[in-house]
Amino acid sequence: MKASSQEDYFDIKDDLLYHINQNMKSRLMISKALEGKIFELAHRSHHVKFHCTYQHIAESLYIRKLSIRLRKFIEHCSNCLLYQTRRH
């Protein structure tokens, strides 16, 4: 199945939807319903910054607009808000 980009495709294997990029890397596509749990598991275990969490998720999972959605999740993380360094 062809995606919106000329280089990217989707494929179904064992009733799961995969995103296949131009380098033929296959990543499991995650629905909006599961995004929050995925973000929580990837971020809250160590409360790492955006780039570390992003890389961890993007290695094997495909979430549409991952950057925007993950940044919003981290910005609202109560532990990160509580312990963030104040800037002058």
The per-residue pLDDT for range 15-27, each reduced to its tens digit, is 999 999 888 999 9
Contact between 39 and 5 under an 8 Å Cβ cutoff? The reply is no
Angle at the Cα of 30 (from 24 to 34), degrees rounded to 5?
Answer: 165
pTM score > 0.85 for this model?
A: no
User: Can you tell me the distance from the alpha carbon of 48 to that of 52, in angstroms, rounded to the nearest whole number?
Assistant: 6
Question: Per residue in 35-76, pLDDT tens?
Answer: 999 999 998 776 777 888 899 899 999 999 999 999 999 888
